[in-house]
Structure 1
Amino acid sequence: MTLSAKGTRLNKRGRETRDHVLKVALRCLASGDPDAVSANLVAREAGVTWGTVQHQFGDVDGLWAAVLEYVADHRGPAVRLADSGDVGTRVRAVLDLMWESLELPGQLALYHLRLSLPRRREDLEEQFPQTARAIAAWDTAWTEMCEQAFAGLAVDPDKLAKVRHLLPGAIRGLHNERHLSTYTDADAGREGLAAALTAYLAAP
């Protein structure tokens, strides 16, 4: 059941409007335009009034939270990597999965949205509490995916947690370098990262 910001049940037209606004918001955010992180722009692009946005999402916090939840719901089935090889094989599978996802509209939207949000967790949770909870849900899903990816192997949980915290920034950094005027070989960097993480996780 899909509900409005006030908790009332949306009819068919309301659900269609909500879906349309979220798709437009996703497109705007994924564009990377600095002015795209604007609820007013999303409303204009979607051809709806601000009152409609308020009815559907409450405020800008509710809209961004709904976008994050929409992306999570439409990113496809969870990838299962357990029982698919040794540590090195699984490390490369996770790296490949992350690398390929960076060009998807949902990931681009998530990245550009987060760039516009407060950097300090305390400020984020105070100013955008719903969005903060949606981001925390993404982190929970990422943690579960990492743990599942290495299930059945004798991998130190503390080491795996550190790798989990390292990977998003490391992969994003290499990916960003690839799109800049640079002499850095991103593919070589990925190979080096995979080898280093494999050695780290496989060490007794």
Structure 2
Amino acid sequence: MTTVESGRRPLGRRRTQEERSATTREKVIQAAIDCIVEEGLHNTTAARIAARSGVTWGAIAHQFGDKDSVLFAVVERNAEMYRGLLDAALKKAGATLPERVETLVDVTWKYINEPAAFAFNELIIHNRASSNAKIIGQQEDLSYKQMSIVWDKFFGEFDLPVPKLETARNFTLATLQGLSLMRLITHRRPTFKRELVALKQSVVQMLASET
């Protein structure tokens, strides 16, 4: 006997309010990212975010609070994305220092060139210029903690001095961000394979040195 013939409702669970809210949140965050990347941060208005997401601004404000909170959610999304990529990569990474460096650099380079990371960089510049102390503080705190956690996961077992690890981390991120910026100013979209190899070698030398 079929479900209809038995008089019972077709199988299928209705989504909970929490699930609907999560879906709405995802739509809004992705709409904000797309708007920043495709239209520029100055055009990422409350109206544009609402239009792109298909969610009324009233509903967005009810869930997020205000536009700044939506933009900070983009920052948080970047942290989640980067953490997820690295956690997955770490499970497959080798046990030696060079292997860990290679995995970390490759994953970070992939992440930095994602649209969400581009939006993140736009927000960094915007937030510094706007002097919004709350957003700047949240962004700095989240970014610093995120990087520290990631590098500790990859290199904690090597018992490296904290200053050495911080220097290698800052050098790596600055180099990758610079290469990513260079990709934006040319239509050739270079891969920077040689530069990435040189970066990995330099970081390994930094971490393995006795000084």
Q: Determine if the TM-score, normalized by the shorter chain, exceeds 0.5.
A: yes
The answer to whether residue 105 in structure 2 is matched with residue 95 in structure 1 is yes
Once the 2 structures are TM-superposed, how far is the Cα of residue 14 of structure 1 from its aligned partner?
Answer: 4.4
Contact 1:163 1:197 in 2 (8 A): yes
Give the aligned partner of residue 141 of structure 2: 136
Once the 2 structures are TM-superposed, how far is the Cα of residue 164 of structure 1 from its aligned partner?
Answer: 1.7
Q: 1 or 2, which has the higher helix percentage?
A: 2
Paired-residue identity, %: 22
Larger radius of gyration, structure 1 or 2? 2
- Separation in structure 2 between the aligned mates of residue 34 and residue 52 of structure 1, nearest angstrom: 22
Contact 1:92 1:194 in 2 (8 A): yes
Give the aligned partner of residue 26 of structure 1: 33
Contact 1:29 1:36 in 2 (8 A): yes
The answer to whether residue 186 in structure 2 is matched with residue 164 in structure 1 is no
Contact 1:90 1:150 in 2 (8 A): yes
- Separation in structure 2 between the aligned mates of residue 139 and residue 89 of structure 1, nearest angstrom: 24
- Separation in structure 1 between the aligned mates of residue 191 and residue 21 of structure 2, nearest angstrom: 49
Once the 2 structures are TM-superposed, how far is the Cα of residue 145 of structure 1 from its aligned partner?
Answer: 1.0
Unaligned runs of 5+ in 1: 1-9
Q: Deviations over 1:82-125 (max 9, x none)?
A: 972332222222111111112323222222222322259xx342
The answer to whether residue 200 in structure 2 is matched with residue 191 in structure 1 is no
- Separation in structure 2 between the aligned mates of residue 141 and residue 151 of structure 1, nearest angstrom: 15
Once the 2 structures are TM-superposed, how far is the Cα of residue 177 of structure 1 from its aligned partner?
Answer: 1.9
The answer to whether residue 126 in structure 2 is matched with residue 116 in structure 1 is yes
Aligned to 1:84, what secondary structure does the other structure show?
Answer: coil
Letter in 1 for 2:105: L
- Separation in structure 2 between the aligned mates of residue 139 and residue 62 of structure 1, nearest angstrom: 19
- Separation in structure 2 between the aligned mates of residue 11 and residue 68 of structure 1, nearest angstrom: 22
Change (3 A) 1:32 1:177: farther
Aligned to 1:85, what secondary structure does the other structure show?
Answer: coil
What is the Cα-based RMSD across aligned positions, in Å? Answer: 3.1
Match of 1:56 among 55, 58, 63: 63
Unaligned runs of 5+ in 2: 1-16
Q: Which has the higher contact order (CA 8 A, sep 6+)?
A: 1
Query: How many residues are aligned here?
Result: 190
Give the aligned partner of residue 115 of structure 2: 105
TM-score, with normalisation over the residues of structure 2? 0.73
Contact 1:81 1:149 in 2 (8 A): no
- Separation in structure 1 between the aligned mates of residue 155 and residue 39 of structure 2, nearest angstrom: 34
Q: What does 1:59-70 correspond to in 2, within 5 Å?
A: 59-70=66-77
Give the aligned partner of residue 4 of structure 1: none
